[in-house]
Structure 1
C-alpha cells in the first residue's frame, strides 16, 4: 500500500513507512529495504535522512508520543476547569490508545538491548522518560485536592499510579490476546474507564466521594 499523500515530504513518507513496517513485522525483522519500498524511495535516499532502522525507530516513537507528552504537560494547569471525572475519563481513553499503539513500539526496545541502552541514555541526559506521565497526573490530582474537588485524604501519587497502571495493564492484555482481546476481557473500554474513574473516588460534580 502506498504511503504517498499530497504535501507529504520524503522524510515524512519514510517515517510513515517505518511505522507501518515496524508495527507489522517487528523491529528485529524490519529492513531499510522494505521501508524504502513502502516509502517509494531508494535506500540511498532513506540514508540521506536516517542512519538506519534504529534511528528511524526512535524517531517514530518520538512522533507517536509527542501529542501525548503535550497533553500530560498541560494537564496540571487544567485543574479547576471542567469536571474531574470528565477529565479523567478523557485521559483514560487516551491512555488506552497511547499504551495500545506506542506502547507496543516501546516494548520492541527490549528485543534490541543496544537500542534500549541508547534510549535510556537519552532519558538520563535530557531528564525525560515515561515516569513523568505519573508525575504530571499526580500534580493535577494534587491541585484538584487543594481546590477541594477531590477528597482531602486522597494520595495523588498513589491514585496516579493506580490509574495509569490499570490503563497500561488493560492495553497490554488487549495487545497480548490479539483480535479476541476485547471480547475476552470482562467489559469494554468505556465501562473499564468509567469503573476506574469511580474507583479512585470522584463523582460527577468534580468533588470526591467521602
Structure 2
C-alpha cells in the first residue's frame, strides 16, 4: 500500500500518514481481534469499554495526519485502491467487533434484536466522531474521553431486554 501511495506524491504528509498507520494500525487491529478471547467472560459492556477508549485514541492519532495527506485526488484514489488490495478497509475494524458481538449474542449476553454488524459500525463511528471533535475543537469541547467511551458503549444498548 505504501509504495502505491508514494508514487507522484506531493510532499511529506503522505509519508507521515503512512508511518502513523504502519505504527498504529497493527496495534489497533490486535486490540480488536483480542476481544474474541473475552467471549462469555465478564460483562459485555465492560469488555467493550477498552475498545472504545483505544478507538478514540487511535483516531486521534491518525486523523490529524490523514487530512493533509489527502489534498490530492490522485493520492485519494491510490489510497482507496491500496486499501481494497490489502483488505485493510473498514471491514478490518468492524469484522472482529461484529464477530465478538455475534458470539455474545449466541450466548444470550447480547439482545437478539441487536445487529452485530451495525453495532460494530456504530462503535467505530462513535470513536471516530469523538476524536474528530477533540482534534478540531479541543478536548474541552465535549465530555472527557472516558465519559465518551462509556456513553458510546451504553448507547449501543446491547444487553438483552
Q: TM-score, normalised by structure 2?
A: 0.81
CA distance in structure 1 between the aligned counterparts of 2:27 and 2:67, rounded to whole angstroms: 19
The more displaced of 72-81 and 95-104 is 72-81
2:139 paired with 1:182? yes
Q: Which structure's relative contact order is higher, taking Cα pairs within 8 Å and 6+ residues apart?
A: 2
Q: Which runs of no fewer than 5 residues in structure 2 stay unpaired?
A: 1-8
Tell me which residue corresponds to 2:54: 94
2:131 paired with 1:171? yes
In the TM superposition, structure 1's runs of 4+ consecutive aligned residues that sit over 6 Å from their partners are none
CA distance in structure 1 between the aligned counterparts of 2:11 and 2:85, rounded to whole angstroms: 29
Q: Residues 115 and 197 (structure 1 numbering): CA distance in 2 closer, same or farther, change over 3 Å?
A: same
The more displaced of 89-98 and 79-88 is 79-88
Tell me which residue corresponds to 1:194: 150
Q: Residues 111 and 83 (structure 1 numbering): CA distance in 2 closer, same or farther, change over 3 Å?
A: same
> For this pair of structures, how many residues does the alignment match?
153
Deviations 1:20-55 (A, max 9, x none): xxxxxxx9774xxxxxxxxxxxxxxxxxxxxxx745
